[in-house]
């Protein structure tokens, strides 16, 4: 299992993440899949601090719902829920905004 973590600048300090930093964690089955998600995140201006790790992040909790942990609003995402993030080059060159 690999984890791709990032800070979602757009959703931070807004809605359920009011006064919090919105952290996304994408669960990946392989390093290759994690690289795809990571590259897609880097092609979006609203994502920063993108990292791939093989150990679960300290703020990761197995949860079917979003949760608050300290100063973070955490969302855990999967390929089944967000397949576009796992598609190579999906967010490249603004393709996703069409």
Paired tokens of 6: 């990032």
Q: How far apart are CA 94 and CA 46, in angstroms?
A: 12
The Cα-based distances of 82 to 10, 58, 70, 71, 87 in angstroms read 17, 23, 26, 25, 10
pLDDT digits 0-9 by tens, 29-64 = 999 999 999 999 999 999 999 999 999 999 999 988
Largest CA distance in the chain: 36
Instruction: Look at the pTM and tell me if it is higher than 0.85.
Output: yes
Residue spans per domain, the chain: 2-83
Whether 4 has a pLDDT exceeding 70, the answer reads yes
Helix (H, G, I), strand (E, B) or coil at 84: helix
Paired tokens of 32: 């290759």
């Amino acid at each position: 299992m690999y984890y791709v973590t990032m800070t979602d600048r757009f959703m931070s300090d807004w809605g359920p993440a009011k006064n919090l930093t919105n952290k996304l964690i994408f669960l990946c089955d392989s390093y290759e899949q994690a690289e795809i998600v990571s590259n897609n995140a880097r092609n979006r201006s609203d994502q920063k601090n993108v990292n791939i790790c093989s150990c679960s992040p300290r703020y990761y909790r197995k949860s079917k719902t979003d949760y608050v942990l300290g100063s973070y609003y955490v969302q855990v995402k999967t390929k089944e829920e967000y397949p576009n993030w796992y598609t190579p080059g999906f967010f490249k060159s603004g393709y996703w905004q069409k």
